[in-house]
A and B are shown apart, each in its own frame.
Chain A
């Protein structure tokens, strides 16, 4: 489980991220993506610094972080498993894969396993709709996921 960044690290790295994005039009989303890539979530301590850097209110930054499904306000597990819940995957047996994943990991959507190993998130369409059910594991897309393949994939991430 990642630990919150030390204040000095946070300020230094965040300062660099802010200056990297200083020339962009509408820089907030790219900044938040960079922050999440750095720490795995958007640490609450980062919000006032981002707000000051962009000359907007802290509430505005919080509003954006909380609006988008991608941005996490607390750390996730070491591995991220996203399973597609959308219609085309449902038509190909997605419900069975969802249920198997929840049972295997012992968590519901948005949950993290007790050992901090895996976080389970729903995703609404990975664009693999003719080869579903589809999933994304640590940013890598996988398709034709039946319960057997799911078992292999989860074993690979130590679950």
Chain B
């Protein structure tokens, strides 16, 4: 009899809810029952409300069970992993899975993230092999045709950025992957690095060969210890197997890379602060121009891309630009891994073509709030993103579409709040966060954020005359800051004030009475 294949995720979201103990329990129980088990530690399927979600392969089909505690394991074996209250049926048949279009995350949760053989068996390295047979110009054309735009939030066309670096004459160029995923409500980078690290390596290798960069760095935040470990292991394996090194897959092209760990500064997610940090300096924002594509890491031409942008490159080269481009809406092409988080019933990672409405994401896919109370607000795009009220839930998920509603999609995090949320408190927090994380270069951000907290406190004490002052301060921060930290903090503050005025005026009225 062949071994029973059991999958227990090693994604941090699973480990944080005792997946390790579940894995231990599975092995212990199998030993007692003398059942031969092949335990595979996969990434997460992204249905995070079900973590730890255990899968068992039967007749070649994976069946899901979750959320599994160590105490459930004995009973699950008793039922032969069949008719148990935690049984969810075949994983691929779960509605949440069926509704997705998984291109970037096709392998995440499916394979052992550190098995290069499994990676190749699921389409890995095909994109790189194809790219190795193309000229630099052909590769750029492929990227431009795919329509891929920066998934960090800025939405700049990736192909154009690469071409700028490719055409810049220099003795040394670099690829830098921005894994400083500090936005609250986002975890797509983490899940990709922990669940399919070779896709990031492959994407960076393609970028390096395209633009003529022989060295790459992943700037990875220290808050992600599992991702750091998995990426380092994957790089070691890729190097040992000739995917990285002096001759990538025997092509004669040189490309190698390493992980650099951040040190807890949110602003280092901004590309120029990131480059300063990578150079060993304070993570202070640089003025642009010069663009990093011309003068980046150590003054050399540098591609700085988000993890999801780079992790999407392999599938574009594997399946062709047209396959990717044909998904999407307007100028937002392809798919977007949306992270549904906060006070939501079904939270997790949902990759879909651009165009799904915000309301569908929150109400249908997310299932409304976890507390069962009405949804009050949804913050899209991290701490610098706007709070959307229910009246804007018909906004389709796309760069221009959200911009047109006074918001941004950012890194595609969607954080849901129920009706107990105090929006004045959230506006205050946005200013406080900006004050804590400001790099200090621009006065409107450094000083303005501190004054912002004070001004919100005045409003909270019933001083309605401070409201125009807050609006004015937001205008100054927006216009007078070099980067998105100072420039976009007004988004959450002003959207809270505009859409939830009662939370700001309540105290003022009380004071007047």
Query: When the two chains form the complex, which single residue of B17, B51, B264, B344 contacts A68, counting CB atoms closer than 8 Å?
Result: B264
Interface size, A (range): 35 or more
Instruction: Please judge, given known A-B contacts A70-B222, A129-B341, whether A32 and B263 are in contact too, CB under 8 Å.
Output: yes
Question: Given the complex of chains A and B, what is the CA–CA distance between A144 and B182 in angstroms?
Answer: 20
A131, B17: Cβ atoms closer than 8 Å: yes
A131, B429: Cβ atoms closer than 8 Å: no
Question: Given the complex of chains A and B, what is the CA–CA distance between A126 and B194 in angstroms?
Answer: 14
B184, A64: Cβ atoms closer than 8 Å: no
Which residue of A is nearest B439, CB measured? A67
Minimum CB–CB distance for A23 against chain B, Å? 11
In the complex, per-residue mask of B289-301: 1 if CB is within 8 Å of any chain A CB, else 0 = 0000000011000
Interface size, B (range): 35 or more
Which residue of A is nearest B227, CB measured? A127
Minimum CB–CB distance for B184 against chain A, Å? 3
Instruction: Please judge, given known A-B contacts A69-B264, A127-B224, whether A87 and B16 are in contact too, CB under 8 Å.
Output: no
Query: When the two chains form the complex, which single residue of A54, A64, A70, A125 contacts B282, counting CB atoms closer than 8 Å?
Result: A64
B415, A63: Cβ atoms closer than 8 Å: no
Minimum CB–CB distance for B506 against chain A, Å? 19
Minimum CB–CB distance for A126 against chain B, Å? 5
Question: Given the complex of chains A and B, what is the CA–CA distance between A29 and B437 in angstroms?
Answer: 18
The winner among B283, B298, B342 for most chain A CB atoms within 10 A is B342
Instruction: Please judge, given known A-B contacts A69-B263, A69-B265, A130-B344, whether A25 and B223 are in contact too, CB under 8 Å.
Output: no
Query: When the two chains form the complex, which single residue of B190, B284, B436 contacts A127, counting CB atoms closer than 8 Å?
Result: B190
**Within 8 Å of chain B (Cβ to Cβ): is A86?**
yes
A71, B342: Cβ atoms closer than 8 Å: no
**Within 8 Å of chain A (Cβ to Cβ): is B91?**
no
**Within 8 Å of chain B (Cβ to Cβ): is A123?**
yes
B15, A141: Cβ atoms closer than 8 Å: yes
**Within 8 Å of chain A (Cβ to Cβ): is B78?**
no
Query: Which residues of A are found within 8 Å of B347, using beta-carbon distances?
Result: 129-131
Minimum CB–CB distance for A25 against chain B, Å? 6
Question: Given the complex of chains A and B, what is the CA–CA distance between A41 and B215 in angstroms?
Answer: 31
Minimum CB–CB distance for B424 against chain A, Å? 13
Please choose the segment from B140-148, B163-171, B272-280 that sits at the chain A interface, where 4 or more of its residues have CB less than 8 A away.
B272-280
Question: Given the complex of chains A and B, what is the CA–CA distance between A63 and B440 in angstroms?
Answer: 12
**Within 8 Å of chain B (Cβ to Cβ): is A14?**
no
* CB within 8 Å of A: which B167-195 residues: 181-187, 189-190
Q: What are 23 A-B pairs with beta-carbon distances under 8 A?
A: A26-B260, A26-B278, A26-B279, A26-B298, A29-B277, A60-B281, A63-B282, A67-B265, A68-B262, A87-B383, A90-B429, A92-B342, A124-B184, A124-B436, A126-B224, A127-B181, A127-B186, A127-B187, A128-B16, A130-B348, A131-B16, A131-B49, A139-B225
Using A88-B342, A141-B225 as known contacts, list a sample of 17 further A-B pairs with CB atoms less than 8 Å apart, ordered by residue number in A: A28-B281, A33-B263, A67-B282, A68-B263, A87-B185, A87-B342, A87-B426, A90-B429, A91-B341, A91-B415, A91-B417, A91-B421, A124-B266, A126-B224, A129-B341, A139-B225, A141-B15
